[in-house]
Amino acid sequence: MSGKSLLPSKSEQDSLSLSAKQMAWSNFQIVGGSLLGLGSACCLLEEIVWFCVGHVKEVGGQAAATLFFVGLLVGSILVVRNEWTKRKALKEARQEQLVLRLAKNEPNNALTISSISLNCAISLAEALEVANRLTKRGVCTVDVSDSGDMLYCFPSLLKKNIPQLGIDTLSEQIERVSDS
């Protein structure tokens, strides 16, 4: 492998990560949504218990309160689920970018699961997931080496398949556009 760094440039990191404000807001939504859901569930349970025990003075009011707490519970679940989905998508995008950068720097543009895991600082299971995602999307193909290792080949990254525009990286393209 060549001596180039696998770490993304500053502008590439920014495009694949949340800012401190975004992360704080995301954390607030997850914690707040979880607490709201927990509180709603407790109140909903209390309403159900009061109804079952027979301590109901006004059925309409209790039904309205029950519907309100159900709405809060469902809303909080949706907020938390949405935030976790966003975080998972960002994590997957970062991992894919690291694997593609690693493959680009390999002489034959082929990687094994163990090389992905080692060089991208992810577990073997995560490396396999990333490689399988890229294979399903048609970014890489699977081949078997002479020694029996599974090789994930990235033919689109071969030097002859990449049009040379005089610009090496995405960060240089972004800098060039921002300078003009």
- Domain parsing of the chain, residue ranges: 13-105, 107-180
- Please check the confidence at residue 119 and state whether its pLDDT lies above 60: yes
Q: What is the pTM of this model?
A: 0.60
The pLDDT of 16-29, averaged and rounded, is 75
Please give the single-letter amino acid code of residue 91: K
The pLDDT of 36-40, averaged and rounded, is 84
Question: How many angstroms separate the CA atoms of 70 and 75, rounded?
Answer: 8
- Please check the confidence at residue 113 and state whether its pLDDT lies above 90: yes
Beta strands 110-111; 141-144: pairing state: unpaired
Q: 107-180 domain in CATH 1.10.10.10?
A: yes
Question: How many angstroms separate the CA atoms of 174 and 61, rounded?
Answer: 59
Q: What is the pLDDT of residue 1?
A: 43
Most confident listed range (10-14, 22-26, 98-102, 171-175): 98-102
Question: How many angstroms separate the CA atoms of 89 and 12, rounded?
Answer: 16
Lowest-pLDDT range of 85-89, 163-167, 176-180: 163-167
In this prediction, residue 142 has a pLDDT band, given cuts at 50, 70 and 90, of: very high
Contact yes or no for 40/73 (Cβ under 8 A): yes
